[in-house]
Structure 1
Amino acid sequence: MSSTAVGGKLERSASVIIADAMIGCHILKIDGYSRTKGTPTGEFIKSHPFTMGGHCWCIRYYPNGYDSESADYISVFLILNESVTKAVKAQHKFSFVDDVEEQTLSLTSEDIHDFKSHHGWGQKTFIKREALEKSKHLKDDSFMVRCDVTIINKIHTEEIPMAEAATVPTFVSVPPSDLHQHLGDLLQTNKDADVVFEVGGETFTAHRCVLGARSPVFSKLFGAMKESCAAGAVRIEYMEAPVFKALFCFIYTDSLPEMNKEDEAAMSQHLLVAACRYNLERLKLICEHKLCKCIEASTLATILALAEQHHCHGLKKACFNFLSSPVNLTAVLASDGIEYLNRSCPSVIKELIAKIGALGI
């Protein structure tokens, strides 16, 4: 009797095919690019071996192309740097580090290749040398290439419960949180505001409960003032009005207002100081991240002093990484900023002297 007949019982089961994979990436820095250009076409420089997915790999860098057809290009290849009896299946993609956010790339659209013993796959025309030399990727005669890899380990089948296999229609779509918009509107409308600040000749109204919830410093301040803060404005002497406005924007919306590129570096410095004063750790890290991108010979001294004074370890590392280039170090030493550093952070000068000695300048 058919399972669909009256009185019959329909037996159902489900299974799933699983393609296990290991995902990773390797970053290769070419430091001293101009000195690698003498490598003949077809010859490569090999990266240090690295392990991924239980296999040993390396990257081959061809400064003058893989072959005569790609002689004007830089070629990069991912190589399986070991002997295997069975080919390793993998997907990969090369990109410049400064084009990639700090996350693993999705390689679902990339081809799966068979990697055999001491052979591999890559891009013969990764980038034209002329284009690289005019691009943002080449900085201080160096650039970094990232190779994202997905290694297909094995494919197997498992039985699964029918409840997991059933496709459930979606009847309700949940939108993303808009709490920051509501709190932003609260800041703009000043509805039920119960405290006033006076900063640089401007007044700002706010809500003690919001400020106290976001900052332990504000919470302690309002606790000490009790109801007296409703009687008059709280005067802020140590901050400019635009900085205080941006600070309030972050407190209410967890984000910063739009800024001009020209203003971003200065505003980030002021906000970093404010973040430390009001114990806003996330704002401090946001400002550190922005300032890491603003480091130049003309700004190095100010940013390094700020990093030292406010214990910004990541920002300080970025400053010394900038100084690891003899060209940058020479430019900083020739600027007026070195005198500012000597006055404001003499301890940093000792570290700088040690670096000069290490570089032999």
Structure 2
Amino acid sequence: MASTLHSLVHVNMFTGGGFMPFVLDYSETKNHAVGSLVCSDEFSAGGHLWRIECYPHGTKTAAKNGGEYVSLFARHSNATRRSRITAIREFKRNGDNWGWHQFLNRADLEKNCVTGSGLVTFICGIAVLCRGGGGEQLAVPPQKIGEQLGLLLDSAEGSDVSFVVGGEKFAAHRAVLAARSPVFRAELFGGMSESTSSCITLKDIDAATFRALLRFIYTDDLPGDTGELDGSPIDTFLQHLLAMADRYALDRLKLMCAQRLLQDMTADSVADILACAETYNCPELKNRCIDFFAAENNFKKATFTYGFAVLLQKFPVIAAELKKRVGI
């Protein structure tokens, strides 16, 4: 027998909904403590993400009942829309949850709803309505600003500044660069020589890195294809790009590079990546690198790399931090 949970979200016009069966192995919850939580996977209903949260022995709020009740809630997972949703009738609002601390007495649940194999099924039915207005909703297409600006970059239409990097020429738009980077804004619209120059030569960056920098500025994306790196290893390329992100105050790009560097970090590369993080002020990446060092096997391997010797020579203070974290 299935125990049924219904949710109705308040608004005036139906926009969608759905049903989600949540199967709980009740036999495995016998020894659970009050407040112990079992969750379903997220599911979509009415354009929102939800999950079922079950406390087989009740929430701590219901603890005064000695764990006699099962607590059951539907949590709305789409944080951007929480403030727009209110609950009526069947569900009682509890923060971002809709449900009950005393959904069903455990004795009744065991007697009437648990199968011979120890399973119980909760079915959550959610109907989502939208506030105000009659008729059908307007279909709003997804935003394409990144794609459109990427096409503008590729076509060079309306470009008013160019950069010569490693023998290549890149056309760009002053307004776009200034809007994305305070450094470019100061250079291109301030009192610096670049503000009156239509062609700017950069000597301390390679073409592949600058191409990726421009692509991010226009599209907010990292290049997914590493085939345009001029033969450079991907971790070297990402370190160069992180350095340029720091130079042009592109904090999101810096952390995106850091994330990609962490994905494939090894004992052979961690010292170089840590040096990059320290040089270009990326504490998030630095802390993850030191955590990586703290693992005994990683530390033993990394200390015998050339990069580790260079790291300690350039940043002797890191030796103390590593010693403290590793515990030696």
TM over 0.5: yes
Let me know the Cα RMSD of the aligned residues.
4.1
Identity of aligned residues (%): 30
Counterpart pick for 1:211 among 150, 163, 177: 177
Is contact 1:272-1:287 (8 Å) kept?
Answer: yes
C-alpha distance after superposition, 1:227-264 (max 9, x if no partner)? 97565520101110011000000101111222239954
Q: Which runs of 5+ in 2 are unaligned?
A: 1-5, 10-27, 42-48, 59-65, 69-96, 104-128
Counterpart pick for 1:290 among 237, 253, 260: 260
Map 1:174-253 → 2, pairs under 5 A:
174-224=140-190, 232-253=198-219
Aligned equivalents of 1:235 and 1:220: distance in 2? 17
Counterparts in 2 of 1:78 and 1:206: CA distance versus 1, 3 Å? farther
Q: Which runs of 5+ in 1 are unaligned?
A: 1-16, 21-76, 94-104, 120-148, 156-162
Counterparts in 2 of 1:79 and 1:311: CA distance versus 1, 3 Å? farther
Once the two structures are TM-superposed, the CA of residue 316 in structure 1 deviates from its matched residue by 1.2
1:266 aligns with 236
2:139 aligns with 173
Aligned equivalents of 2:39 and 2:146: distance in 1? 40
Tell me which amino acid in the other structure corresponds to 1:288.
A
Is contact 1:79-1:118 (8 Å) kept?
Answer: no
Counterparts in 2 of 1:80 and 1:201: CA distance versus 1, 3 Å? farther
2:16 aligns with none
Aligned equivalents of 2:243 and 2:180: distance in 1? 17
Counterpart pick for 2:247 among 277, 281, 287: 277
Is contact 1:91-1:107 (8 Å) kept?
Answer: yes
Aligned equivalents of 2:226 and 2:30: distance in 1? 45
3-state secondary structure, aligned to 1:175: coil
TM-score, normalization: structure 2? 0.61
Once the two structures are TM-superposed, the CA of residue 271 in structure 1 deviates from its matched residue by 1.2
How many residue pairs match? The answer is 240
Counterpart pick for 1:327 among 280, 286, 297: 297
Once the two structures are TM-superposed, the CA of residue 167 in structure 1 deviates from its matched residue by 9.1
Once the two structures are TM-superposed, the CA of residue 293 in structure 1 deviates from its matched residue by 1.6
1:153 aligns with 101
Is contact 1:268-1:291 (8 Å) kept?
Answer: yes
Aligned equivalents of 1:273 and 1:79: distance in 2? 55
TM-score, normalization: structure 1? 0.56
| Residue 313, structure 1, aligned to residue 283, structure 2 | yes
| Residue 107, structure 1, aligned to residue 77, structure 2 | no
Counterpart pick for 2:274 among 297, 300, 304: 304
Aligned equivalents of 1:292 and 1:180: distance in 2? 26
Aligned equivalents of 2:198 and 2:37: distance in 1? 71
Is contact 2:272-2:308 (8 Å) kept?
Answer: no
Aligned equivalents of 2:249 and 2:186: distance in 1? 12
